């Protein structure tokens, strides 16, 4: 994280809920503090509430209840044009009847910035996104990537305290997307503004964000850095949405120490208790594929879980090898390892993984 500029905004959602008529609730209850100058990503599948959260923050919708505070000021009922927030839209929303320069000058014109000052600032951001030579073209004469940069330039030229981006890379091809990701990171560093980025692409979230808020079904599942979310997911949803996980759902044991077990289908799996692990009822034991090993069936080892199964498939992926094991208790497990690991010769194997790398989380 870079040093936040003094003008970067701090955003707080306080028990924000949004319902549409009698329909399903878009956002159940949202409590989230976005720190000054941070790059936070709202990540989730479509319909999870992340876009609604963005629209509430931008002012296109009003919360049904709760408050949204920007730098301590309640903006929940403030119309969008008074919020001073830069926005980059999924399909860029460039004004088709204006040139690149006119598009970028638009927010300055609304603020009655003097002509000379306006020209200087437009030139500055044009240089920042390397589009100087396209200044007098119309948006339709530009490629998707160039249009996207115009949209970013237009959203930052008035130096907003907060920059929102709604899946801004969704319409770009993969290769272009990677270079734009780095470009956006650079712009965030140079501006020092707070950035709220919405995406359903977990890889994009991992690359770009200081912190990630994972949304599902109108609720935040977990907020944290990429490492925290990947290494210490707090719910089954987070574990499965962010990267791959092996997962066993069962009755959680009532013992209250750091370790507990999930028992289901006549086998117990032990793992680390987390702050949100229930003391009774259903829970999920989760472990990442790269923490598992496929070994010949031998006696159990202290500190490890062992699940017997049959090796069904081995897929060679270049930098790693991926194995799929059909488990005797039903279902299958995915194990990844480096290609030089020697595999057991028999098909009857054990999937073995350390209890310390297994987490018991609320089932979803």
Q: Minimum Å distance from CB 101 to another protein?
A: 15
SS3 102: helix
CB of 178 to another protein, least distance (A): 25
Least distance (Å) between residue 189 CB and another protein: 23
- What's the rounded Cα separation, in Å, for the pair 221 and 213? 7
Interatomic CA distance for residues 30 and 33, integer angstroms: 10
Q: What angle do CA 240, 241, 245 make, to 5 degrees?
A: 25
For another protein, the closer CB: 96 or 254: 96
Burial 95-134 (b: 16+ CB within 10 A, else e): eeeebbbbbbbbbbeeeebeeeebeebbeebbebbebeeb
Binding footprint of another protein on the chain (CB under 8 A):
58-60, 79-81, 83-87, 89-91, 93-97, 106-107, 110-111, 138, 140, 154-155, 158
Of 103 and 235, which has the nearer Cβ to another protein? 103
Question: Nearest approach, Cβ of 77 to another protein (angstroms)?
Answer: 15
Q: State the minimum distance, in angstroms, from the CB of residue 48 to another protein.
A: 20
Nearer to another protein, 84 or 209 (CB): 84
Nearest to 154 by CA among 189, 108, 192, 208: 108
How far is Cα 18 from Cα 147, in angstroms, rounded to an integer? 32
Q: Nearer Cβ to another protein, position 95 or 255? A: 95
User: Of 54 and 287, which CB lies nearer to another protein in the complex structure?
Assistant: 54
**The Cα angle at residue 36 between residues 34 and 38, in degrees rounded to 5:** 70
């Amino acid at each position: 994280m870079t040093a936040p500029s003094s003008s970067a905004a701090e955003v707080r959602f306080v028990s924000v809920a949004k319902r549409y008529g009698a329909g399903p609730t878009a956002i159940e209850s949202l409590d989230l503090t976005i720190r000054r100058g941070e790059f936070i990503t709202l990540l989730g599948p479509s319909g999870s509430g992340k876009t609604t959260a963005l629209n509430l923050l931008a002012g296109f919708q009003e919360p049904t209840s709760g408050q949204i505070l920007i730098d301590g000021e309640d903006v929940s009922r403030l119309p969008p044009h008074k919020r001073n927030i830069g926005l980059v839209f999924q399909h860029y929303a460039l004004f088709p009847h204006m040139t690149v320069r006119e598009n970028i000058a638009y927010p300055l014109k609304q603020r009655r910035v003097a002509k000379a000052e306006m020209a200087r600032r437009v030139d500055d951001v044009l240089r920042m996104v390397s589009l100087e030579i396209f200044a007098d073209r119309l948006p339709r004469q530009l490629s998707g990537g160039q249009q996207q940069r115009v949209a970013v330039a237009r959203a930052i030229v008035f130096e907003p305290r907060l920059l929102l981006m709604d899946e801004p890379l969704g319409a770009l091809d993969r290769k272009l997307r990677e270079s734009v990701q780095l470009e956006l990171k650079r712009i965030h560093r140079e501006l020092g503004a707070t950035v709220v980025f919405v995406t359903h692409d977990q890889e994009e979230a991992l690359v770009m964000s200081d912190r990630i808020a994972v949304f599902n079904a109108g609720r935040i599942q977990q907020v944290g850095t990429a490492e925290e979310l990947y290494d210490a997911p707090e719910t089954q949803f987070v574990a499965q949405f962010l990267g791959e996980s092996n997962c066993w759902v069962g009755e959680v044991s009532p013992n209250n120490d750091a370790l507990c077990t999930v028992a289901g289908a006549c086998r117990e799996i032990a793992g680390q208790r987390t702050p949100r692990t229930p003391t009774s009822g259903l829970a999920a034991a989760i472990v990442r594929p790269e923490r598992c090993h496929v070994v010949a069936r031998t006696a159990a080892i202290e500190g490890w879980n062992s699940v017997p199964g049959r090796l069904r498939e081995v897929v060679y992926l270049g930098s790693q090898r991926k194995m799929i094991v059909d488990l005797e208790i039903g279902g299958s497990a995915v194990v990844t390892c480096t290609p030089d690991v020697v595999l057991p010769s028999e098909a009857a194997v054990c999937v073995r993984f350390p209890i310390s790398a297994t987490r018991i989380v609320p089932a979803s």
